[in-house]
Structure 1
Amino acid sequence: MLSRRIRFFVAATISYNVIEALVALAAGAVASSSALIAFGLDSVIEVASAAAVAWQFSAPDPERREKTALRFIAFSFFGLALFIGFDAVRALVTGAEADPSPVGIALAAVSLGVMPLLSYFQRRAGRELRSRSAVADSKQTLICSYLSGVLLAGLLLNSLFGWSWADPLAALVIAGWAVKEGREAWKGDACCANPLAPVERDAESGGGCSCCGS
């Protein structure tokens, strides 16, 4: 039952992020916006990450595939950070200016409301199943909501005040988040160090797991 729930939320995440990626990349290309392109590529990575979790839970014994799924998620983050960082630095050095993007602003606002909900339900199911890869993927989805806020701020500053530097700066923030989460996924810090071990209860958290609160 839990595996089925995770697959459902993974499918929902993939569906939303495919739409998000297409809109962001198209709007970013039109506006020459590093932040929008970065956000679109982050959505592509989220699709790949969710697909990795779906692949893991398609096996009779998902735990056997967990390390591979975590490694894939980590490499996806690192690749994203490298590309975004390079493009953002190029924009800052050359002084390239992004055009205002009403479509990008609307997309960031919608994602700011949708992504936290998807992340919450997927993380809850992942913690109940003690799956680090599912929790890692849910954290990636949550990051998208943070990045939506960063993107929205960068686009609004550029649109309202003409601060062209705000766009690549927002992209650099996205790159920094990608590095941080890639490192955590690589180390398997998304949840407890050993999800198959007996759960240590923490009295201060109401009897929940002292590591992840599940």
Structure 2
Amino acid sequence: MIPSASSFPPGWPIIPDSATTPAPSSSDDQERDRRREARRLTVHVAAQLQARMSATFLPPVEALVTEGLTRLRSAIKIYRSGRKIDDLTAVQLGLDLQIVQIRDEAWIALDASADLFTDLGLWEDLTKIVDKACLPPISSLVAFMAWRRERFDIAHDAALAALKIDPSYDLAHLVHDAVHDGIPPSWCQPIAIAAARLGSGRPNPSWMEPLRQKITLYTQTTG
């Protein structure tokens, strides 16, 4: 079951799903147009990234990771100051979050958040703007936040939403299995898990593979 508005308390992001969303009405035109524009922006940003990654023998991993981390940290600060990011930045973050180090940075920041509902504004906006193919990291982070706060129904539904798009997505599996097996949220320490996976070395070209797959998706298709 994909999360619906009725299953979330006020303030929790809703993960969109075309199979369960009612047929659009005239009042949905603006949102539909915004998503169409976000898709166009995603294709544009993906083409730029493809050009950068193909310009050298090895992809500029360190530069892309540094830029993505800077964009993520800036977005968090912007929302904590009561402002919002623009659609282009949201689309860029949607692609940034395909890189596991950036996704894990967001994971750690959310787990340590002292003002969760302020921080949730960023993820709510991302679920509204980011193209569906890029949603698994975002949906999985929502699932993790819900699980850590013992909202197991929301965690389950958000994890399933991610897995419906990408059945192999690791963080979605972690949360889904934890909820299914009754593992207490205190078991999970994101900092330790991220450190064990990423180690202390420099960014690895293999981290780019999920992003490379999304770039291929958007540059080989249209609309």
TM-score higher than 0.5: no
Q: Taking structure 1 as the reference length, what is the TM-score of the superposition?
A: 0.32
Q: Which structure has the highest helix share of the two?
A: 1
